[in-house]
């Protein structure tokens, strides 16, 4: 009994950390899949790029932590905007097979480029001194960095949801997700909206990749290795939904952590089974439109 509570706290804590990283990375994917009807399998590559850039700026150029992460996010966002205009938008609402081929190609390019520039080993992320160490809460030592990660995630989620509810861009995005043709009819420039949404999603992924380097190690195979988890969060949450993936991420994060703690021999098996069951019951996801 005495072990019970600390174990639960530990699971909840690490589960929520995982969920925050998963959500930051996957939310943009939900928008591209739901709004643009585009299966962007290469979405994880933006997260990876964010991680690599941030770690390089930190380790090699000795930049302050916050500045390095900010700069990495800005660079990835800019690159994603170019890719969206040049490549992605030609395939919106097109054949799934073309989208799969295109984005699989981009994954391979990202694997090759990352190995060429940074080598095959995981990239270390130097955490600033103030965020190192741990705090003891109810008999468990919780790392400060992960607390910081959860706080960052919570702030970002709140900002994102507020922006969606309160800003003009948010209203346009919701309108387009609900009914694309109607949104166009009332004069919303959906092409520009798509570009903004895509860039925002990629930027958040880069942020998630950079901040979460400790949860998902930055390796060249990043985009492929974690793809299934990102897709699960989006599919279970509901395509096009901003909130759905958050609850899906929490579910995946906490279940995954709990299973690894109690029944490590089951591995990710249960998560996959749960995903299949949920998708059979709710084919459009828990909060899909």
Partner 1 sequence: MTHDASSTRTGNAALVPEAATATASAAAAAREQFSRRHRFTPLEVLPWLAAIGAYFAFPDYLALGSQILATIIFALSVDLLIGYTGIVTLGHAALFGTGAYTAGLLAANGWGDPVSGLLVAALAAAVVGLVSGALILRTHGLTQLMQTLVVAALLMEVANKAGHYTGGGDGLQGMIVWPVFGLFRFDMFGKTAYLYSLAVLFVCWVLMRTIVHSAFGRSLMGIRENVARMHAIGTPVERRKLTAYTLSAALAGISGALIAQTTSFVGLGVLSLERSGSILIMLIIGGVGQLYGAFIGVPLYMIAQDRFATIDPVFWYFWIGLFMVLLVLFARGGVLGILTRLVKRDGGTS
- For partner 1, the closer of residues 4 and 116 by Cβ is 116
> Does residue 144 bind partner 1 (CB under 8 A)?
no
> Does residue 284 bind partner 1 (CB under 8 A)?
yes
> Does residue 82 bind partner 1 (CB under 8 A)?
no
Per-position x/- string for 180-219, each x denoting binding to partner 1 as judged by CB under 8 A, each - no binding: ----------------------------------------
Shortest spacing between CB 220 and partner 1, in angstroms: 8
Q: Which of 20, 39, 76, 183 binds partner 1 (CB under 8 A)?
A: 39
Shortest spacing between CB 51 and partner 1, in angstroms: 18
> Does residue 36 bind partner 1 (CB under 8 A)?
no
178 close to 239: Cβ distance less than 8 angstroms = no
Paired tokens of 193:
């909206």
Shortest spacing between CB 78 and partner 1, in angstroms: 20
> Does residue 171 bind partner 1 (CB under 8 A)?
no
Q: Which of 58, 183, 231, 248 binds partner 1 (CB under 8 A)?
A: 231
Shortest spacing between CB 58 and partner 1, in angstroms: 24
Q: Which residues, 6+ apart, have CB-to-CB distance to 87 below 8 Å?
A: 102, 106
Per-position x/- string for 58-77, each x denoting binding to partner 1 as judged by CB under 8 A, each - no binding: --------------------
Shortest spacing between CB 219 and partner 1, in angstroms: 13
Q: How many residues bind partner 1 (CB under 8 A)?
A: 44
For residue 168, give the nearest of 192, 204, 203, 152 by alpha carbon: 192
**What residues between 112 and 141 interact with partner 1 by CB under 8 A?**
112-113, 115-116
- For partner 1, the closer of residues 6 and 112 by Cβ is 112
| Separation of first and last alpha carbons in the chain | 43
Binding segment for partner 1 (CB under 8 A), chosen from 167-175, 176-184, 193-201, 230-238, is 230-238
Where does this chain bind partner 1 (CB under 8 A)? 33, 39, 87, 90-91, 96-98, 100-102, 104-113, 115-116, 224, 227-228, 231-232, 235, 239, 265-269, 272-273, 275-276, 279-280, 283-285
């Amino acid at each position: 009994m005495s072990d019970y509570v600390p174990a639960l706290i530990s699971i909840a804590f690490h589960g929520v950390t995982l969920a925050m990283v998963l959500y930051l990375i996957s939310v943009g994917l939900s928008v591209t899949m739901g709004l643009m009807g585009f299966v962007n399998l290469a979405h994880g590559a933006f997260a990876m790029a964010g991680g690599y850039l941030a770690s390089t700026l930190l380790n090699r150029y000795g930049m302050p932590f916050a500045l390095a992460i900010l700069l990495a996010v800005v660079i990835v966002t800019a690159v994603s905007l170019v890719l969206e205009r040049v490549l992605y938008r030609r395939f919106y609402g097109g054949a799934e097979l073309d989208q799969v081929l295109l984005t699989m190609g981009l994954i391979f390019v990202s694997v090759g480029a990352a190995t060429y520039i940074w080598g095959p080993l995981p990239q270390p992320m130097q955490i600033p001194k103030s965020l190192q160490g741990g705090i003891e809460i109810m008999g468990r030592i919780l790392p400060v960095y992960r607390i910081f990660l959860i706080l960052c995630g919570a702030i970002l989620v709140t900002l994102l949801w507020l922006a969606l509810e309160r800003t003009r861009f948010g209203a346009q995005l919701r309108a387009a997700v609900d009914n694309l043709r109607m949104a166009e009819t009332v004069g919303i420039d959906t092409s520009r909206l798509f570009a903004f949404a895509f860039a925002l999603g990629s930027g958040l992924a880069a942020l998630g990749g950079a901040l979460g380097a400790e949860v998902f190690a930055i390796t060249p195979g990043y985009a492929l290795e974690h793809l299934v988890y990102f897709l699960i969060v989006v599919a279970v949450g509901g395509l096009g939904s901003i909130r759905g993936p958050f609850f899906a991420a929490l579910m995946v994060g906490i279940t995954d952590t709990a299973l690894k703690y109690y029944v490590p021999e089951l591995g990710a098996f249960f998560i996959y089974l749960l995903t299949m069951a949920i998708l059979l019951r709710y084919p459009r996801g828990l909060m899909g439109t």
